[in-house]
Structure 1
Amino acid sequence: MMDSTLSKPESLHSWLTSDRPLSRRQAALGRAYGGCRTFARNRLAMLGLFIVLALVLVAIFADLLAPYSAYIGDLRTTRLLPPSWAHWMGTDDQGRDILSRLIHGSRITLFVVVLVAVLAAPIGLLVGTVAGYAGGLVDATLMRITDIFLAFPRLILALAFVAALGPGIENAVIAIAITSWPPYARMARAETLTIRQTDYIAAVQLLGASPWRIVLRHIMPLCVSSVIVRVTLDMAGIILTAAGLGFLGLGAQPPMPEWGAMIANGRLYVLDQWWVAAAPGAAIFVVSLAFNLLGDGLRDALDPKAAK
């Protein structure tokens, strides 16, 4: 327990940065505090976090922030208007305000990113830890399946699955998730091969813990931080894959304001009305860059070998 006399910030700092924690709670809080300090010192990571948080807020309050409808335009008076005070990013070929469509499209982007991460990361973590701990035939079988998925480029494999499942944002999410888990499995397996040789795991085995309990309760938690970093770094690739499917007409279907589909719609006017494709392209670039910066910062903050 934290001593009641530690009321000053200096005392709290000393308690959190102690080299000899007196409890598991103090050790966990100390690691979290050190990671936050390392992350906060990385200005680019803070910039990435700010952009990602702004994206989340824009998606939540899209209905309030969008100045116009994202689905309805006026072909007679507002078709292909250049950026102006009335339409900050111009309008598209249907007379719809591009800024409003970008704002509402942020919801689709977050939906894809979050759902793919929720589906792919646990699958890869489970496959990798089971393969690394079990070894033998189980390891060989699971890793050969992983190698099959890794043998194909992600976008090509996603195209194949979407072609089989049919176009649509839900099927696109499933296809991207199916093609995203192998790198997480490889990473989790590599860490498990090291962890399973430690005295900590040997002690748990001597206590009679079952293999599933060892994997789920003692190995997987140690691999989570690395998987979180890898997922964050892969967010840009997920966004680009989703945009690629939308560009090809296999992702979100019209009139949904998906950024890749907006670029596909604007490619017909890229020479004269450049803003139709440039605006969603810039949005994809900024958000992808933000996730990469955030991932780099998390990698430094969660690295147990880095000095805090």
Structure 2
Amino acid sequence: MTAAANRPAGLRAWLREEAPSSRLQANLVQLYAGWRALRRNPLAMIGLAIILVLLAVAALAPWIAPFDPLHQDLANRLTPPGGAHPLGTDDLGRDILSRILHGARITLTIVVLVAVAVAPLGLAIGCLAGYFGGWVDSVLMRITDVFMAFPRLILALAFVAALGPGIENAVLAIAITNWPPYARIARAETLTIRRSDFIAAARLQGASSLGIIWGHVVPLTISSVIVRVTLDMAGIILIAAGLGFLGLGAQPPSPEWGAMIAGGRKYILDQWWVATMPGIAICVVSLGFNLLGDGLRDVLDPKQR
């Protein structure tokens, strides 16, 4: 009992060590310190809880959804919330709760795919532009300015209209229009790093430019990019929902939240729950990402400490 009781205390002491004895311990100490700082922010913890619920719902949707999201029951169409249908049914008698639970999978898939695509692309472009400067910086940043000159939703609509409707094309369109802010952030961070003494020391040791960028610049800029990704999740969800609302994202009968709102807009005055329930889901998930992003910014951005 004593050994079991002392083990967590010993682990906490090891994670709070001011002079780590290895790189692994140093990384874990830094992660633990960040977690402790994040845990002291109640709004960030609320956001984290919302995102964890979203992940659990997306993973368990086939087992926790009370009905098949595609099953039509015309005898119970437009049933108000209550009873066997806690959130009511839509114009085809499909259970709205089941469709929202399964729609969380689509939303999470879009968010993850866009984040995986835009963060590395923007990070690479920004680090290359900031490190090399000169004509490389001018060319890459002028391309970035062209993409930033248009509103993201309008540009995404143009790409989807050219590529055709569908989740894959919606993800591609959103990714194409969302990378410029990450490039700007990475470039700004790189400009402050490239003239540092440790970069000069790495050059004197014979390190290549790409090796310096990958080994020194990227690790120091990635925290700012992570914060930006988390804060942008809400915008990505809204753009995806907007494309779905306009019929350019997920196609019927897929239970995508934006498409569900579009299907229920004609009943908004009398059968309000058809469009309101997926709208509430979008608002709650977007709020969760914003709250967590604000908390991560306080933890990861030294200028905010």
Q: TM-score, normalised by structure 1?
A: 0.94
Q: What SS does the aligned partner of 2:92 have?
A: coil
Q: Give 1:61's aligned residue.
A: 60
The answer to whether 1:304 aligns with 2:302 is yes
Q: Give 1:239's aligned residue.
A: 237
Q: What SS does the aligned partner of 1:256 have?
A: coil
* Gaps in structure 2 of 5+ consecutive residues: 1-5
* Gaps in structure 1 of 5+ consecutive residues: 1-6
Residues 159, 173 of structure 2: 8 Å contact kept:
yes
| Partners of 2:64 and 2:19 in 1: CA distance | 50
Q: Give 1:4's aligned residue.
A: none
| Partners of 2:291 and 2:80 in 1: CA distance | 32
- Aligned counterpart in structure 1 of residue 270 of structure 2, from 257, 269, 272: 272
Q: Give 2:3's aligned residue.
A: none
| Partners of 2:178 and 2:277 in 1: CA distance | 27
Cα displacement string for residues 38-68 of structure 1 (whole angstroms, at most 9, x for unaligned residues): 0111111111111111111111111111111
Instruction: Report 1:251-270 matches (<5 A).
Output: 251-270=249-268
| Partners of 1:280 and 1:260 in 2: CA distance | 8
Q: Give 1:85's aligned residue.
A: 83
Q: CA deviation at 1:28?
A: 1.9
Q: CA deviation at 1:25?
A: 3.1
- Aligned counterpart in structure 2 of residue 178 of structure 1, from 166, 176, 179: 176
Q: Give 2:24's aligned residue.
A: 25
Q: Which structure's residues are more often helix, by fraction?
A: 2
Q: CA deviation at 1:99?
A: 0.4
Q: Give 1:52's aligned residue.
A: 51
Cα displacement string for residues 251-281 of structure 1 (whole angstroms, at most 9, x for unaligned residues): 0000000000000011000000000000000
Q: What SS does the aligned partner of 1:252 have?
A: coil
Q: Give 2:291's aligned residue.
A: 293
Change (3 A) 1:277 1:29: same
Q: Give 1:214's aligned residue.
A: 212
The answer to whether 1:144 aligns with 2:119 is no
| Partners of 2:23 and 2:66 in 1: CA distance | 51
| Partners of 1:10 and 1:89 in 2: CA distance | 46
| Partners of 1:20 and 1:263 in 2: CA distance | 55
Root mean square deviation, CA, Å: 1.4
Q: Give 1:40's aligned residue.
A: 39
The answer to whether 1:200 aligns with 2:229 is no
Q: Give 2:154's aligned residue.
A: 156
Q: CA deviation at 1:301?
A: 1.8
Q: What SS does the aligned partner of 1:282 have?
A: helix
Letter in 2 for 1:153: P
Q: Which runs of 4+ in 1 moved over 4 A?
A: 7-15
Q: What SS does the aligned partner of 2:179 have?
A: helix
| Partners of 1:306 and 1:84 in 2: CA distance | 46
Q: CA deviation at 1:157?
A: 0.3
Cα displacement string for residues 183-236 of structure 1 (whole angstroms, at most 9, x for unaligned residues): 000000000001111111111111111111111221111111111110000000
Q: Give 2:117's aligned residue.
A: 119
| Partners of 1:273 and 1:27 in 2: CA distance | 57
Q: Give 1:73's aligned residue.
A: 72
Q: CA deviation at 1:24?
A: 2.8
Aligned residues: 300
Letter in 2 for 1:63: P
